[in-house]
Structure 1
């Protein structure tokens, strides 16, 4: 009996053995200092471990490192709040949602994993040849657009779409895309179908894309519109922002103005601007 119980004795031969340290014993400030080096999804997962990690995950200095350098401007002008009235975690969460501005013709949001800024511009904010003439264009509601409306081109000789935006982008390299679809999609018996009957002219001459910025950058590209029945992001080009907090104006366009043939059967949704490193996520936007 004595030999059997001797294994439970404390090293000093006296009272009970000391309890082992646990995650609850780690100071909250130390946990916060670790969390600030993790990505937002990892922080949110660890916040569920215990009270210490949950409290540490709320620290402002943890989330300020995840916010873009211009977050105060976004809070004031897009969220229309005071940056001092919200916690940094709440600011991050709200900016990760699609936030509308400029009469609901533009949306800005943060990529949840990286905290990088993405921007979308509705066709309604663009100058489009013949857009108000129903012989050429139709405005259609669509659940496939983040703006819930798209423009459908029936036919036209002179196809030109021009836009510009002035925005305060954080330093990064960005890509600009037009989101287009050949064919008119609809629902039939609960299934998506796409009418291709009016598609014409896009295989004869390529569409020309271009962009320019107020700090002297330019990009030109061209391609044939060929993929039918699906939304495609057509790359216009890249531009780089290398200074903190500059307002930069971007002008962009797409055109096919060869009047020897009619163009038609294309849907125009929006323009997307996102960091070039997020191009692999285009279909998630």
Structure 2
């Protein structure tokens, strides 16, 4: 028996809303009735985070256009167009397959040792790096040891999800100190430093080295996974993501940091 005959479209929409965005899109090809049901705001309202209106209202960019979108169009807009919030220091987007929250902590929101000392770090604005989503990025002039930390409250993330943190960076044409000495990468909940599993990674290995430690993002930036954690309840505290090298001895320069991104590891 054809379910489209037995159930009204509103019921089909209700059922689809308990699946996932990916399943909903697949369902739209079943029949014209299913396609119409999938387009319903009732379906995509369930896929959007419960606090999406609050997040949008905190955006530093105009939100008038977003309010007028259908819930489906809003969902995909937030997947493809990260929204700047908290005075432009944080970006918010959605994972397209699951609808779970993704955040990038911009360089201005990171704790960078000597970051305000112009002899060590330069803050480059978007006119020089238009491919950045943030107004400013941090470019390393030179240091002997490195310490970059990003923090984010876990209550802002989706719960019951395994998250990975990624350093988003690139190199200036002239760089030094990252081609041989491994950097330390770490992700842990604040207060549980003893449980952290540090990764040691050479950020800029020789060109013929395989596999490469990073992935290219397609917008001129690269990313490298720093570690992961399970966001059990969403109120576990603060997740701490760090890049550091305390050994000293080698001058480092030419690293450009856009931010640290946390997104579901699907």
Q: Please give the range of the TM-score, normalised by the shorter of the 2 chains.
A: 0.7 to 0.9
The equivalent residue for 1:264 is: 253
Greater Rg by CA = 1
Match for residue 222 of structure 2 among 225, 232, 235: 232
Flag structure 1 segments of 5+ consecutive residues without an equivalent. 1-20, 185-194, 278-285
The equivalent residue for 1:100 is: 84
Q: Aligned equivalents of 1:239 and 1:38: distance in 2?
A: 23
SS in 2 for 1:72: coil
Please, what is the CA RMSD of the aligned residues?
Answer: 3.5
Q: Aligned equivalents of 2:186 and 2:237: distance in 1?
A: 16
Q: Aligned equivalents of 2:133 and 2:113: distance in 1?
A: 23
The equivalent residue for 1:218 is: 196
1:212-258 per-position Cα deviation (integer Å, ceiling 9, x unaligned): 21474533111111158963212211100223x42531112111233
Name the CA shift for 1:150/1:214 in 2 (closer, same or farther; >3 Å): closer
Q: Aligned equivalents of 1:178 and 1:32: distance in 2?
A: 39
The equivalent residue for 1:187 is: none
The equivalent residue for 2:213 is: none
Flag structure 2 segments of 5+ consecutive residues without an equivalent. 64-68, 208-215
The equivalent residue for 1:156 is: 143
Structure with the greater relative contact order (CA < 8 A, sep ≥ 6): 1 or 2? 2
Displacement of 1:89 in angstroms is: 4.7
Name the CA shift for 1:56/1:209 in 2 (closer, same or farther; >3 Å): closer
Q: Aligned equivalents of 1:53 and 1:77: distance in 2?
A: 29
1:150–1:269 CA contact under 8 A, matched in 2: yes
Match for residue 249 of structure 1 among 225, 235, 238: 238
1:35–1:57 CA contact under 8 A, matched in 2: no
Match for residue 175 of structure 1 among 139, 160, 164: 164
Alignment size in residue pairs: 235
1:118-176 per-position Cα deviation (integer Å, ceiling 9, x unaligned): 11010100111222222222222212222143211122212211221113222110101
User: TM-score, structure 1 length as denominator?
Assistant: 0.68
1:145–1:269 CA contact under 8 A, matched in 2: yes
Name the CA shift for 1:102/1:167 in 2 (closer, same or farther; >3 Å): farther
The equivalent residue for 1:54 is: 36
Name the CA shift for 1:38/1:181 in 2 (closer, same or farther; >3 Å): closer
Q: Which runs of 4+ in 1 moved over 6 A?
A: 23-26
User: TM-score, structure 2 length as denominator?
Assistant: 0.72
Q: Aligned equivalents of 1:231 and 1:59: distance in 2?
A: 35
